[in-house]
Amino acid sequence: MRRYVWDWVVRLCHLAFIGGCVSAYVTYQMSKMDWHAWSGYVVLGALAVRLVWGLIGSPNARFADFVKGPGAVWAYVSRWKNQPAPTGHNPLGGYAVLALLAALAVQTVTGLFSDDEVATAGPLRGWVSDEMAHTLTHIHRLSFNALLALVALHLTAIAAYAVIKRVNLVGPMITGWTKARD
């Protein structure tokens, strides 16, 4: 039996996260800073939509639905191999989602205030002192590494589900539909 797991808002936001992050990286490497900024705005817009959708969206999209207490996380992790993966986010994956969204927020918001002191400054650079802009630019550079590490972990977890539990998580993030497992 099939189940509808990810609604189109969740899927569209996810696509914008991937596209925006890849584009921000590539355009930065090419020194196309206008495009770099626009890539960041796409991610920031998708993030705003996703946060609101986490409050009013379909059940699997809601924070209240997938952010569980430590007991639920432990119960899931300690029996990981011997129970079916839940249809939406699992209790540990819920925290991975929060970490990814937080990393995207830090990355995009610090970008608004960043200043390379050569040719490019974020649109809100004028709101803060030179010292604060310097600090936020530093965080913008450092947090990219944190985001990369989280994405690597994200992709490793997805691969582990595919290889060890034989569960395809990628298909549902594209089509919205998954096979019922519980």
Give the binding range for ligand HEM (CB under 6 A) out of 15-23, 67-75, 114-122, 130-138: 15-23
Is position 173 an interface residue for ligand HEM (rule: CB under 6 A)? yes
Task: Name the token pair of 49.
Answer: 């939509």
Among the residue ranges 67-75, 98-106, 120-128, 129-137, the one whose residues contact ligand HEM (CB under 6 A) = 98-106
Considering the rule CB under 6 A, would residue 17 count as an interface residue with ligand HEM?
A: yes
Q: Residue 113: which of 131, 99, 126, 94 has the closest Cα?
A: 126
Q: Does 9 bind ligand HEM (CB under 6 A)?
A: no
Residue 178, C-beta contacts closer than 8 angstroms, at least 6 positions apart: 2, 3, 5, 87, 168, 171, 172
Q: Cα(36)–Cα(26) distance, rounded to whole angstroms?
A: 8
Closer to ligand HEM at the Cβ: 104 or 121?
104
Of the candidate spans 11-19, 26-34, 76-84, 126-134, the one that interacts with ligand HEM by CB under 6 A turns out to be 11-19
- The whole-angstrom distance between residue 155's C-alpha and the CA centroid of its chain comes to 12
Contacts of 169 by beta carbon, 8 Å cutoff, 6+ apart = 85, 158, 161, 162
Q: Which residues bind ligand HEM (CB under 6 A)?
A: 10, 13-14, 17-18, 21, 50, 89, 93, 97, 100-101, 104, 151, 154-155, 158, 169-170, 173
